[in-house]
Structure 1
């Protein structure tokens, strides 16, 4: 009964940031990567020539993270604060699947060279923090953020919501003061005139969702606090039991932006958390009325520009959504790529010249191995 209540509480919390989760269609070899349209939309192949975020730690405060084969190289020991902050457990269990979905979007490394799910920051470390996320108090989420702060992570991904509370506000403030980038979804109730917590807090980068045509998702909550948008519809990612899911919601967009923040932290290690957020918003592509708007804030995430453009420093203060953004000098990707030597770094090579018989056998085996199932939700 206790486990059922915890799962029920978490599902209520993620309802505002996850519009739907459904199994990806059965796929042949390499189809999972092909189905991840956001990789091409964001031009991540070019971004990964600059950095893949080796050495950066991202906390995923969620339902826990299943050790999916596309995550195991990056998945580290975390904790479980779902009982109110006792710090027990590793965070590497997930009865819901939501946390596993988000972790794959942030730091999936795939398998067999270019099969499986690839994340935005495929060399970043994932620190799983299992929280209740209950909207009635948010104590588990607050405790998880506190634990992440003490652990010294670089980015905290919050693809969940909670009711406003002093413990949650205090935890977010402490994390920001510890120079941690905090990213959260705006929520999925488009008729709601108020952003979800903790995205509404001033220290947090609030993320909305767009579809593959660059249009704001119907479910994405809008408002003056929105900072940026990212793909958040029909997104393929890791699921429970080494399966794959398609997800919709600002939670997915949030995880993608958290991955981008990890890349920026790797490329520019001396930037403060406020400057990292500033770089992400200053280089975003304006996709609505000229200038900032309430739908996508400063625009749609542009990962390559965030890593390569010349961005004037943030002037005075650490506000996440300043009233004006500085001009951005056109980017140029050259020989300034960060040296990264981990074996998992080569996730997007071009494969050619596979013998016909081996290819047919691989297709058959992949088809039998990749049966998708709906996560327990």
Structure 2
């Protein structure tokens, strides 16, 4: 999720539609309206972001080649220099009426894709996985649009949603990482099943936790409303931090947060070209998706649960108590996460148990006796069959004699 940014204090986004979202509305993220960044200064402007994530050290190991990251968002502009030759645009999945028309390139989707896989061509912006590919799956537009999704009553087949369609499409079309800088307040059954579908096939899911940290409700209750799909088990929920690694006040705080990443004044590419400063947990999500792409490029067989572990156990700025609901386990460190992922490749889910070991000091119980035929039951069964046959035969004889007499 993204917040509108102006020079000075950022504006809060979509605060007035919360009640509608609660009945299943899928809003587009707020449009980007931030200060532009001069083209000759974009590398300097993004330096702090790359340093915060320890990206350049990670690039000595891999730059993400061979991995496709699905960006479920507004449509990505494939013509901007940083993304030229790297983008495949999928079908418009905002509805189930596939008309083959690709929606116009979106500011939000293009920006997120650049943060994931910007090539840095000709001195331009560099994403966290600069050699990765992008699969753009449009489910939103930049203009606020509100489409009522029929609430799922839990009976019969789940009600399909744009997000569930997009996750399945991405999984079936080669994505190894799915970046979702969006969310809704209601957990849809179809979305939950699509999450399970992707995880079962080894796809890493990364999603924004939302931008409700400074909302009236969050201040009143001391926690933010959950956003989905970030709130589903197995999805890496990402919160935003500032230049000092502190929790950004607008970023949602709840137990869906796994890790944090830069999300304040982060340069990104605009649709049509040029650069803009962006703010929100959307930005943080795209950056972490790029780090996940680095891990999958180096260790393609590593499961999503171990990618999550690599990210969460190697963080910087670890909060007191090792975890809090503002930045999770801390700010992602790409290089350290790659090293940890290498260690986890030898992980085995089950530990073999030595034969002969048992609890207590006494002798082990005898092995169970293989079940076999019970003689008594066989005799009873046989006798019953014989008696039944004898009775049947006697009945036939009696009926035959009666018929002959008549």
Query: Is the TM-score greater than 0.5?
Result: yes
Alignment-derived partner of residue 291 in structure 1: 322
Quick check: 81-90 or 185-194, which moved more?
A: 81-90
* 3-state secondary structure, aligned to 1:118: coil
Alignment-derived partner of residue 269 in structure 1: 300
Structure 2: unaligned runs, 5 residues or longer: 1-16, 150-159, 351-406
Partner Cα distance (1:85, 1:180) in 2 = 26
Alignment-derived partner of residue 374 in structure 1: none
Partner Cα distance (2:338, 2:126) in 1 = 19
**Contact conserved, 1:71 with 1:110, CA < 8 A, in 2?**
no
**Contact conserved, 1:282 with 1:298, CA < 8 A, in 2?**
yes
Alignment-derived partner of residue 123 in structure 1: 131
Alignment match of 1:200 (pick from 231, 237, 240): 231
Relative distance call for 1:311 and 1:285 in structure 2 (3 A) is farther
Residue-pair matches, total? 301
Alignment match of 2:173 (pick from 132, 139, 151): 151
Structure 1: unaligned runs, 5 residues or longer: 1-7, 318-377
Is residue 71 of structure 1 aligned with residue 83 of structure 2?
Answer: yes
Structure with greater Cα Rg: 2
Higher relative contact order (CA 8 A, sep 6+): 1
Structure 1-normalised TM-score? 0.74
Partner Cα distance (1:246, 1:240) in 2 = 13
Alignment-derived partner of residue 104 in structure 1: 114
Relative distance call for 1:35 and 1:85 in structure 2 (3 A) is farther
The Cα of 1:89 is off from its aligned counterpart by: 4.7
- Counterparts of 1:174-253 in structure 2, within 5 Å, are 174-190=197-213, 191=218, 193-253=224-284
The Cα of 1:147 is off from its aligned counterpart by: 0.8
Partner Cα distance (1:33, 1:172) in 2 = 35
Structure 2-normalised TM-score? 0.69
- Counterparts of 1:1-377 in structure 2, within 5 Å, are 12-15=27-30, 21-27=33-39, 29=40, 31-36=41-46, 37-67=48-78, 68-84=80-96, 86=98, 88-89=100-101, 93-94=104-105, 96-112=106-122, 115-132=123-140, 136-137=148-149, 139-162=161-184, 163-190=186-213, 191=218, 193-309=224-340, 311-312=343-344, 316=349
The Cα of 1:195 is off from its aligned counterpart by: 1.9
CA RMSD across the alignment: 2.5
**Contact conserved, 2:93 with 2:138, CA < 8 A, in 1?**
yes
